[in-house]
Structure 1
Amino acid sequence: MITKEELMKIQILHQQGLSQRAIAKQLGISRNTVKRYLRAKVDSPAYSARPKTTSLLDLYKPFLHSRIAQAKPVHLSGVVLFRELKELGYCGGLSLLRQYLYEYRGKQAPTEVVRFETQPGKQMQVDWGQMRGGKFPIHAFIAVLGYSRAMMVVFTDNMRYDTLEQCHRLTFDYFQGVPQEAWYDNMKTVVIERDAYGEGKHKLNQAFYQFAKSMGYIPKLCQPYRPQTKGKVERMVRYVRDNFFRPLNTKLEAMGETLDVMTANAEVMLWLETVAHQRTHDTTKQKPADRLVEERLALQPLPPTLLPVATALEPDVPLPSVLTTLSAQPLHHPLSIYDQLSEAV
């Protein structure tokens, strides 16, 4: 039995003047088959019923349905479910799982946004993400290096300015350097008024202005409604929520415990090193941990101290085009510094 495409090729080659023998040789089929279909002048071949194929996911669908129902209203991402399925012996791919999840949840696959790529040490993107609301909220400060996609996550119970500054200090210490620029949205702790002194000249929070100057990087504001300008960190907010916070939170809830800021910060450092930075990134096709080694060489050295900067503020002036670049030698701290998280946030 030949396919519809093979029948089409037989008819076309016959119209081009090839003999039955030549057609059979070119298509790798018997001469009698070519003769039979040319004489019958059928429009399409008859197809026998195909046996129903089984998906690599079929065996694991009951587990998926149960896991999704158990987590509701929390949304478990495909990456989390894929990791759990692999532990059960699933040998299919992540794309197959994602496609099934879209269909099962009645959703369409998201449209991909093209991101701007930057050179090592050039850019960092910063954002807040609310992980939990209510009386005991948990927020996540997330900073992502544009080249390596390595990130730092600090969980807090507030988004005050002093908390923002301390999160930056912990981030620069973790990255072992300072990028040339960092991108933000309309955080009130960062910007007072956009375009206050003309297009692209923003009125910054003066405490933040002093901090950025002391650290030696240029703060920039992303354009509204343009996911390309700060899309890397916005995507990581969802990644942290779906792949770290929600799975950890649901597991603790099943044990009758409540996730707090201190526990989240203790767990996230291990998760960054063993999961987030060891995954192969969809865009770069490399592990963030490997690219971070390269990017660290391009970062500006840390300032000579990570103590709070002076409280005296400069007059209200627009952000200059270039901030002072500090040239001190790198100051590396042991990972024990992150024990300060419970006190800092």
Structure 2
Amino acid sequence: MIRSGLITMIREKSDQGKSPYAISKELGISENTAKKYIDNRGKTLKHGLSGKTKHSKLDPFKQDIENHMKQGILNCSVIFERLQEKGYNGGITIIKDYIKPFRPLNTRKAVERYETPPGKQAQMDWGIVHYVDGEGKSHKTPAFIMIMGNSRAKYVEFTKRCDYYSLVRCMLNAFEYFGGVPETVLTDHMKTVVIRVELGKAIFHTRFSEFAADMGFVPKLCRVRTPQTKGKVERLVHYVKDNFLPGRKFIDLEDLNNQAIEWCKKVDSKIHGTTGEIPLKSLAKEPLLPLPEASTRDHYRWETRKVTRDGFVSYDGVRYGVDWQYSNREVRVRAIRGNFEVYDGEVRILCRKIEHTSGKIVFLRGQYQGLAEKEGVAFPMAYGIKSDTLIVDKRPLAFYDEVMGVRANG
């Protein structure tokens, strides 16, 4: 088959009145070829490859892609990695082209990009993620997320609560992971940070203000109902939900958090699409404020709990048993280095590995030893002593003479 340009030339020369023989000599083709394209003028010629099916490297994996999309996974990078694990050796472009028709339209408004100098700012937020247990039941759990504004280094930690104690504990873990403290931390108006806003001025919680002062950072708030002012962490929340979590298997919260740290290190070891730098290398160059002393940091890991009547301390949905003699008393608790510790004043009365299964009851060996003998009373009440004989103090006669003399002189 000859090219379309040559066919056009044959027909133009035929229109000029030249014979097929003359055209064949002039263009260097056979006379029959010239006749063929002159005679087929106005007819649509069938391409030699028409009717043949062209196979794609993606064909064997299309059902896998369909399954991922049914699970809500539309992130091409995630699907690309999953297919590579199954032997796919093609590129990501054909995956993007295949998925594009299924993507929802982007209706978000355009915003101005705002960049901060190294060490200047970190952004933090909570995200609520979903997972399914072995019985198919759906659950929700909070995810604390912090990102350095300049280097884009990330920290992700899943918790059971998003109260004040969980917030400061996660922030401490993030600062220790980054190796320092940024000058400012940008957040939204979460209840654990801000009490209210009066005349445009935020009134911070006293405890959070004290925490910020001890750590050395200044808390900053994004504008109300404008989450794009902390767009870096907002995008990271979606990135965790769309990239890290879908299809991920884990045993418990500890396992999930270990995977999250490894994932952060993995993605931060690649060149960032916006900065063109590797986040972990950029983080090492950020002039962060030094971490406070360990004693100062550990101070914010403490929580106050009351021991129940039957001798248990509740923490993150797990009940830990302590000696029954501490029942109904207030104790101090903390989670540190994978252990759960309980203190009565400065005395540690319990140290054991943290349990991550909510609703679990952990008994202490010998927890109720001596309870029956003492009838459940840990400390005896104050009491008087009854005696069968009257005891009279014996004093010398000089004592009475002295007493009488004082009275006579008075």
Shorter-normalised TM range? 0.5 to 0.7
SS of match in other structure, 2:144:
strand
Structure 1 Cα separation of the partners of residues 45 and 151 of structure 2: 52
CA contact (8 A) 2:122 2:182 kept: yes
SS of match in other structure, 1:189:
coil
Shift of 1:192: 1.3
Shift of 1:217: 0.8
Counterpart residue number, 2:178: 175
Greater strand percent: which structure? Answer: 2
Inter-CA distance 95–139: structure 2 relative to 1 (3 Å threshold): farther
Structure 1 Cα separation of the partners of residues 264 and 339 of structure 2: 18
Amino acid in structure 1 at the alignment position of 2:252: D
* Structure 1, unpaired ranges of 5+: 8-30, 33-45, 253-258, 312-336
Inter-CA distance 168–343: structure 2 relative to 1 (3 Å threshold): farther
Counterpart residue number, 1:212: 212
Counterpart residue number, 1:332: none
Structure 2 Cα separation of the partners of residues 96 and 285 of structure 1: 25
Counterpart residue number, 2:65: 64
Greater helix percent: which structure? Answer: 1
Structure 2 Cα separation of the partners of residues 94 and 222 of structure 1: 36
Shift of 1:262: 2.1
> Is residue 2:225 matched to residue 1:244?
no
Amino acid in structure 1 at the alignment position of 2:202: H
> Is residue 2:141 matched to residue 1:141?
no
Shift of 1:150: 0.8
CA contact (8 A) 1:191 1:204 kept: yes
TM-score in terms of structure 2 length: 0.56
Structure 1 Cα separation of the partners of residues 235 and 299 of structure 2: 30
TM-score in terms of structure 1 length: 0.66
Amino acid in structure 2 at the alignment position of 1:235: R
CA contact (8 A) 1:76 1:246 kept: no
Amino acid in structure 2 at the alignment position of 1:339: G
Amino acid in structure 2 at the alignment position of 1:165: V
Amino acid in structure 1 at the alignment position of 2:99: L
Structure 2 Cα separation of the partners of residues 224 and 189 of structure 1: 16
Amino acid in structure 1 at the alignment position of 2:291: L
Question: What pairs with 1:111-150 in structure 2 (closer than 5 Å)?
Answer: 115-132=113-130, 137-150=140-153
Structure 2 Cα separation of the partners of residues 108 and 240 of structure 1: 21
* Structure 2, unpaired ranges of 5+: 9-25, 28-43, 132-136, 303-335, 341-352, 357-410
Q: 1:301 aligns with which of 290, 293, 300?
A: 290
Counterpart residue number, 1:108: 105
Shift of 1:166: 0.7
CA contact (8 A) 2:185 2:217 kept: yes
Q: 1:269 aligns with which of 240, 245, 261?
A: 261
Shift of 1:79: 2.1
Shift of 1:62: 2.5
Question: What pairs with 1:49-60 in structure 2 (closer than 5 Å)?
Answer: 56-60=57-61
Counterpart residue number, 1:223: 223
Does 227-236 or 86-95 show the bigger shift? 86-95
Question: What pairs with 1:1-345 in structure 2 (closer than 5 Å)?
Answer: 1=3, 56-69=57-70, 72=71, 74-75=72-73, 77-103=75-101, 105-108=102-105, 115-132=113-130, 137-194=140-197, 196=198, 198-199=199-200, 201-248=201-248, 251=249, 259-273=251-265, 275-295=266-286, 298-305=287-294, 306-308=297-299, 339=338, 343=354
Structure 2 Cα separation of the partners of residues 137 and 68 of structure 1: 21
- Tell me the percent identity: 35
Cα shift readout 1:293-333 (whole Å, capped 9, x = no counterpart)? 222xx11111123122599xxxxxxxxxxxxxxxxxxxxxx
Does 179-188 or 226-235 show the bigger shift? 226-235
Inter-CA distance 226–92: structure 2 relative to 1 (3 Å threshold): farther
Structure 2 Cα separation of the partners of residues 47 and 146 of structure 1: 61
CA contact (8 A) 1:138 1:261 kept: no
Which one has the largest radius of gyration? Answer: 2
CA contact (8 A) 1:137 1:157 kept: no
SS of match in other structure, 2:243:
helix
CA contact (8 A) 1:136 1:157 kept: no
Shift of 1:94: 3.7
Structure 1 Cα separation of the partners of residues 267 and 56 of structure 2: 29
Shift of 1:280: 2.8
Structure 2 Cα separation of the partners of residues 138 and 187 of structure 1: 17
Shift of 1:202: 0.8
Matched length? 268
CA contact (8 A) 2:73 2:79 kept: no
